[in-house]
Each structure stands twice: as structure tokens, then as C-alpha cells.
Chains A and B, each alone.
Chain A
Amino acid sequence: MISGTFHTSYRSDMALRRTWLERLRLGLFIAFVLLFPFVVRKPYPVFLMNQIGIATIGAIGLNILVGYTGQISLGQGAFMAVGAYTAGILTARLGVPWWLTIPIAALFTALVGAVFGIPSLRMKGLYLAIATLAAQEIIIWVVTHWEAVTGGVDALVVPPPMLFGQRVNTDFRFYWVIWPLVGLTALVTANLFRTHYGRAFIAIRDQDVAAEVMGINVFAYKLLAFGISSFFVGLAGALIAHYRSIVTWERFTIETSVLYLAMIIIGGLGSISGSLFGAAFMTLLPAFLTNVGRALQGVIPGMDEFIPYLQQASFGLVIILFLILEPEGLRKIWQDIKNYFALWPFSY
């Protein structure tokens, strides 16, 4: 039985994964991700995994801002739109190679995010949430009305990404673009919060005045948080553009912002694994409901039309139930399970 984790060297104390059990779990997860498309071999589950991967990158990005730095943002959808449209326009209109557009789009989104983070100088909490809501509406309005560049309300068709003469954005092939980037995003974020930048973000979240007194330039670090967060959000947007080959503004409305906020709240604020849990949960729940609805189609005729409504209702209900019953999200449930077995059979 484990009474605690004790380290005898700085090296082991500062490691990202500090116990063999943690390393084992991570190894198992990586093995799962690597083997998944070979074992399943059907397009639909791989497609879902890709969705989860992109959502995880976006959710980690949002979590850096909301969960770690404590700045509420309702502009996630618009920032994803910036990433997606930048990647799409660069490829479709300027002929920039697709793999190059992804980092460019992410960097550009970081810039836009930092600009829209400027109101956070004067506002926090509620007022900042409303300011980002306005940013969301204004950016999407620009996207739908700047027809010369974005194509307006019409879909922007992105030429399929090619590598060695092969089309990359099939479900199976793009899996190997998305999931390494998920791993990279998680690794960068995990390490970010071991540097003084990340520590500063957390200090600002916990008590901004105290952070200022301790010598942290609150404004600069808030802008940095907006920038880093938007970088990953733009990355997710760029991946959507190349994966789906079509960019439409409908994919990036306020509903998307809310969906991502729901992911990180249900998954767990200020947690990377929580972002993954939340992304997986919010991607699989509507898919699950669709399948249940289709299966019930034979029993209850006309079930098909109700599926979108049921998805919407369950979305709202899940958010409310999590907030009331388990505000710390799936991450906390997972923690409780681990604790239970760590102390088993003498847990009290």
C-alpha cells in the first residue's frame, strides 16, 4: 500500500510523470492512440477520434485562458474561425502549401487573440465575458460580410492537402496529422505551467492584485495568455479547414464558443487531461444520441427529426447537472476513482 510519493532526487521530483503508475497510464493511453486506427479499421470511429483530437487542441487552448488564467472568454468560436479562414484563404487563394498554413494560421490567430485581449486590461469576470461575446459577434459579422476575402456566407472550398501526390485528408491519414499535434499541444501546455510564464498565469487567476504586488506585469501576462490560448485555438481551426476541406461561418458561431466552454467545465477547469475528457465527452454524446435515435427509428417512427432537439436538450441538461453535482468535472471523478484504488482496500 502506498502511503505517499517520496522522491530521493531532484530529477524524479521534477519529472512530468512522477510515479511508475502515472508513466504506465500515459504509456497505455499513447499505445491506445497509436493502435486505434489499425484495430478499428472503420472510417466512422476514426472520424470521431479525429473530431476528439481537434476538439482537445481547442479545449486545451481555451483552458489556458479560462481554467489557468481565469479570463472568461465567449469568443472561442470566432478565434477558431480566424484560424480556419486564414488557413483556408492562404491555401485556396494564395497557393501556400497546406502544412505551412497551419503554423501561420495559428500565429495569426494568436495575434488577433492578443488584440481582443486588450479589454481585459480594464475588465474582468462578467464584463470581460460580455466583451468577448461582442468580439465573437463582430468577428463573425466581418467574416460573413467581407466577401472579397472570405467569400461571405458561402462556403470557402479548400483544396485537399497533398503529400507525395497523395491526398492527406482521409480519416485514416489525417489521424496522423491530428494526434501528434494533440500530443505536442499537451506537452507544451504541461511544460508551460512549469515555467514562470505559466506560474504567472495561475497567480493572476488566483488573485490578480497579489500577483501585481509580487511584480508580475498583469496586463502583459494577460495578453500573453490570450495569445498563447488563441494560438492553439487557431491551430484547431486550421486543422478543421484542412480536414473538412470546407470552411463555413456556421461552424464558428456563439454555439461553438459555448460548446468549448462546456467541454472544459465538464472536463475540468485548469487541467489538460480534463480538456481531453471534456472534448471526448462532448463529441461522443451527440454521436451516441444520433445512434440511439437511429436505432429507435424502427420502434418510434419520426424519431429522426427529434435527434437534433434531443442533442440540444441533453447538452443543456448535462451542463446544468455537472455544475450542480460535480463542479470540478470529469477530472475530479477520475481523480476519485484513482484515489479509491490507491487506498484500496482501506479507503474510508
Chain B
Amino acid sequence: MDTFIQLTLTGLTNGAILALAALGFVLIYKASDVINFAQGEFLLIGAYLMYATIVQIGLPWTLGVLVTMVVAVLLGILIERFVLRPLIGEPIISVIMATIGLSSLLQAVVRIIWGSQPKAFPAFIPSTPVTIFGATVGADRLWAIGIAALLMLFFSLFFRFSKEGIAMRAVADDQQAAMSMGISVKKVFAWAWSIAAVTAAIAGAIVANIVGVGPHLSHFGLRVFPVVILGGLDSIPGAIVGGVIIGLLEAYVGGYIGGGLNQVISFVVLVLILMIRPYGLFGREIIERV
């Protein structure tokens, strides 16, 4: 039973981080039909920015978080403006390759600035052991789940009530209709990219707090794919549910079956979902078929 609770909490933490990374991914896809292969690098950059501001410059962590978020927003806007906008209307493969090129470029920039050695991260979230239902887990994992849940709530409210959120939903629904209502589609794209960068940066900071900072964090970029396909590429609740399911699945498979199967199980699920229900759990049921 202890193992079960421990695995569940580990799975939930990973799931929360995956869900945060997937949220940005889904937002970009919803708004602009772009698959972002550089999502993992957003995570990476977020983690390293936290490291730079808190460890290297020595800011208090509240200020560090603020600076990180501002830089992430700027990065999102810049990428949208200079990489994705010139490619509007180009075939899918061009857009996919552009974000892959972007991921390579961003990773290289991070390595040029900070090197490729993993670095210890000052825990700004305490990791004192806490006992729940008889299982002992680090408090930082519980915080991670809490922060992710809070952010999800914030973004749900944002899309429900704020003017920008409603504009983004309108563009996702029908670009031309949105344009005719006076919504700037360009601005919405920029919004989508900056929110994606910010949520990924926060996810990166949480991961860094638990396992440290290193170039390996960009692996989350690939792990997002099973999550978004399971949840549905264009569904925000799907990103959350998908993240939690994949996180739990990997934890249970790793804990009970082992043999490294947890590294690949999510991709097996991905293939199965694609064969049976390509639009995922909550996605819209329009998919190009031949």
C-alpha cells in the first residue's frame, strides 16, 4: 500500500509537470495549428533562467520567478514573430521542421551559455519529507501538484472570463469569423506562444527544483506527445487529464513491472490511441482521413 501511494504521488507530480508542458502545446495548436517540437526547450530555458536569476545573480526567488516569466513572454513573442509568422500557409512539414530547428537552436544557446553539466538547484520549495496515508514523500512534490493545479485553475478562468482568453477561443474556433469581429489574429498567436513559454517555464522551474537543472530537461518535449494525443490535440482539459494519466501510468509501470518499460509505455499508448481514437479523449472529432 505504501508503494502504491508513493507511486501515485510520484505519478501525479510528473503528470502535473507534463500537463503544464502540454497546456502550452495545446494552446499553440488550438490557436495556430502548429505542432511545437520546441516545447521541451521552453521548459529547459525556464529552468535555466531560474538558475541564472536565483543562483548566478542572487535575486530572491520571488523576483527570480518574475524575471523568468517576463523573459519567457518575450521569447514567445519573438519566436512567433520571426519564425512562425513567415511560415503561415506553408505545408505542415515546413512548420514541423521549423519548430524542430528552433528546438535545436534553443538547446545549443542554453549549452553555450550554461554548459552541458547538470547543476544543483537551490530548493526554493522545501523538500522536507511529509507522511501521507503512511507513505513518505518530499513536500516539494506536493507543492508541484498544488502549483500545477492552481495554474490550471487560473488558466481555466482566464479562458472563461478575460477578454484575451475569449479572443483566443474565438480564433481557435474560426479564424475568419474572429477577424471579422475585430480580433487581431496575430496578437492571439503571440499570446498563445507567450503563454506556452510561461507555463513551460514554470513547469521547468518545478522540475529543476526536484531533480536539478541540466540539458536533459528538454526530454519533456517528446514526452508531451503521448499526453496531448491521449487528451486530444485541441483540448485543454485533455492536456490535464492526459498528463495525469500518462504520469500515473509511467509511475505504476516503472514501479510494478520495471525493466525500463516505463520509458516506452507512453509511446505504445500513443500508437494505440492513434489507431483507435485519433482525436483523443476530449478532442474534436474532425480528423483528416484517407
Residues of chain A within 8 A of B182, CB atoms compared: none
Counting chain B CB atoms within 10 Å of each CB, the highest count among A72, A119, A144, A309 belongs to A309
A194 within 8 A of B: no
Tell me, yes or no, whether A1 is within 8 Å of chain B by CB: no
Per-position contact with B for A261-276: 1 when CB-CB < 8 Å, else 0?
1100100010000000
A258 to chain B, nearest CB (A): 5
Q: Write out the residue numbers on chain A whose beta carbons fall within 8 Å of the beta carbon of B90.
A: 323, 327
**Most A CB within 10 A of own CB, among B87, B100, B103, B109:** B100
A122–B275 contact, CB under 8 A? Answer: yes
A163-192 toward B: CB 8 Å interface, digit per residue (1/0)?
000000000000000000000000000000
User: Is A92 located at the chain interface by the 8 A CB criterion?
Assistant: no
Cβ 8 A contact of A320, one of B83, B111, B268, B290: B83
Specify the main secondary structure of chain B where it touches its partner. helix
Q: Mark B154-181, 1 if CB is under 8 A from A, else 0.
A: 0000000000000000000000000000
Contacts A121-B290, A141-B260, A212-B290 given; does A323 touch B267 at CB 8 Å: no
Q: Is the CB of B109 within 8 A of A133?
A: no
- Which chain B residues (249-278) contact chain A, with CB distance < 8 Å? 259-260, 263-264, 267-268, 270-271, 274-275, 278
Q: Is the CB of A313 within 8 A of B109?
A: yes
Identify which of residues 303-348 in chain A touch chain B, using a CB-to-CB cut-off of 8 Å: 306, 309-310, 312-313, 315-320, 323-324, 327
Chain B residues within 8 Å of A89, by CB: none
When C-beta atoms are compared, the residue in chain B nearest to A144 turns out to be: B260
Known: A122-B278, A126-B35, A309-B112. A138 touches B92 (CB 8 A): no
- The answer to whether B259 and A134 touch across the interface, beta carbons within 8 angstroms, is no
A45 within 8 Å of B (CB atoms): no
Q: Which of A124, A254, A313 contacts B112 (CB 8 A)?
A: A313
Chain A 58-87 interface mask (CB, 8 Å, partner B; 1/0): 000000001000001000000000000000
A331–B15 CA distance with the chains assembled, in angstroms: 45
Expressed in whole angstroms, the minimum distance between the Cβ of A320 and any Cβ of chain B is 4
Q: By CB atoms of chain A within 10 A, which of B93, B106, B274, B289 has the most?
A: B93
- Residues 81-105 of B at the A interface (beta carbon under 8 Å): 83, 86-87, 90, 92-94, 96-98, 100-105
Contact B290 A208 (CB under 8 A): yes
Interface size on A, residues (CB 8 A): 46
B107 nearest in chain A by CB position: A312
Q: Is the CB of A319 within 8 A of B98?
A: yes
Checking A72, A127, A144 against B287 with a beta-carbon cut-off of 8 angstroms, the contacting residue is A127
Bin chain B's interface residue count: 35 or more
A43 to B107, CA, bound (A): 33
**Majority secondary structure, A binding face:** helix
Q: Is the CB of A320 within 8 A of B94?
A: no
Contact status B274-A138, CB under 8 Å: no
- Contact A313-B274, Cβ < 8 Å, known A138-B268, A141-B264, A209-B290: no
Q: What residues of chain B have their CB less than 8 Å away from a CB belonging to chain A?
A: 35, 83, 86-87, 90, 92-94, 96-98, 100-109, 111-112, 222, 225-226, 229, 233, 259-260, 263-264, 267-268, 270-271, 274-275, 278, 287-290
Residue ranges of A at the interface with B (Cβ–Cβ < 8 Å): 66, 72, 119, 121-127, 129-131, 133-135, 137-138, 141, 144-145, 208-209, 212, 218-219, 254, 258, 261-262, 265, 269, 306, 309-310, 312-313, 315-320, 323-324, 327
